[in-house]
């Protein structure tokens, strides 16, 4: 039996595969282009896509544990709900599902509401699953390199309430831990839910100050204009996706997404170390950019 990782060539899937490749279990990565996949040694590429029902059914043969990561597409909910049904029919004994932090609260953010619906489905079907709820990915801010270096601004309008961003390396570690725990168990395990969060609650101004220190130059927060963000993002992604991003930022500004001390402590116990901080990320990025 084996672990199947969906989204295997993406940002998070790659982190999960890197962690799993260090284990002694059979690992497979689902990909539309198995001949082009560059997976760690020991990971088998299998053809398939969540949107291709027949291919995904075939990929589930011999799979006992599933890492379920939804693509950021317009029909995400349909794809994932069907994948859950197929996993149940295939007799998968454990699922680790990548949801989102605050998905149960931000009902007006489409991809948050979609992931919360899948969580409810897992519960309603009484499936043995671990739900991981990551906050905003710290590494998303690698896209801020040009405005940081060329204009001296941090441009993501996360607002003034504060959010607890998570490092993608911690996501990969947490997912691999739960996948291996479920894979190695002789029987299905009870459901678990973890908030995947950073140790700090940071505002836009806080992050600008962290970059100011990391880059050793003045960095200013660009402000809270989410409509400008949506217009800018439309040049890089579909309009529906740009709107979704803007709605998420609107909720960050209105409510924040601050982790509780108990959530940070529970994640620390799962990882075996304190979650990585934004300061650590900013200093690492500055060093790579040759500015520190």
Residues sharing a CB contact under 8 Å with residue 91, sequence separation 6 or more, in sequence order? none
Residue 239: what pLDDT?
Answer: 97
The string over 133-162, giving b where at least 16 C-beta atoms fall within 10 Å of a residue's C-beta and e elsewhere, is bbbbbbbebeebeeebbeebbbbbbbbebb
What tens digit of pLDDT does each residue of 35-51 get?
888 999 999 999 999 99
Domains along the sequence of the chain with CATH: 2-136+167-196 (3.40.50.720)
Residue ranges in the chain whose pLDDT is less than 70? 291-292
Residue 291: what pLDDT?
Answer: 53
What tens digit of pLDDT does each residue of 167-188 get?
999 999 999 999 999 999 999 9
Residue 24: what pLDDT?
Answer: 92
Residue 250: what pLDDT?
Answer: 98
Residue 292: what pLDDT?
Answer: 45
Residue 290: what pLDDT?
Answer: 85
Euclidean distance between CA atoms 191 and 169, whole angstroms = 23
Backbone angles phi and psi of 170, in degrees to 5? -70, -35
């Amino acid at each position: 039996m084996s672990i199947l990782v969906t989204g295997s060539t993406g940002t998070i899937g790659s982190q999960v595969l890197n962690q799993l490749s260090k284990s002694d279990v059979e690992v497979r990565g689902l990909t539309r282009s198995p001949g082009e996949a560059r997976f760690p040694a020991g990971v088998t590429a299998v053809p398939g896509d969540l949107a291709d029902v027949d291919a995904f059914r075939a990929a589930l043969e011999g799979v006992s544990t599933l890492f379920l990561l939804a693509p950021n597409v317009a029909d995400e909910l349909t794809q994932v709900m069907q994948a859950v049904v197929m996993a149940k029919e295939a007799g998968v004994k454990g699922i680790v599902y990548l949801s989102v932090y605050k998905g149960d609260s931000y009902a007006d953010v489409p991809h948050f509401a979609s992931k919360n619906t899948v969580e409810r489905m897992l519960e309603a079907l009484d499936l043995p699953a671990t739900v991981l709820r990551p906050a905003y990915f710290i590494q998303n801010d690698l896209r801020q390199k040009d405005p940081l270096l060329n204009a001296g601004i941090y441009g993501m309008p996360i607002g003034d309430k504060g959010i607890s961003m998570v490092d993608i390396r911690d996501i990969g570690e947490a997912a691999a831990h739960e996948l291996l725990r479920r894979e190695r168990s002789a029987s299905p395990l009870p459901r678990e839910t973890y908030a995947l969060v950073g140790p700090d609650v940071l505002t836009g101004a806080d992050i600008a100050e962290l970059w100011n220190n990391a880059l050793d130059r003045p960095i200013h927060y660009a402000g809270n204009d989410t409509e400008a963000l949506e217009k800018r993002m439309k040049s890089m992604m579909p309009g529906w996706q740009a709107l979704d991003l803007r709605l998420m930022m609107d909720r960050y500004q209105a409510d924040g997404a601050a982790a509780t001390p108990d959530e940070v402590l529970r994640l620390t116990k799962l990882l075996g170390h304190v979650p990585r901080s934004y300061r650590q990320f900013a200093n690492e990025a500055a060093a790579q950019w040759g500015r520190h």
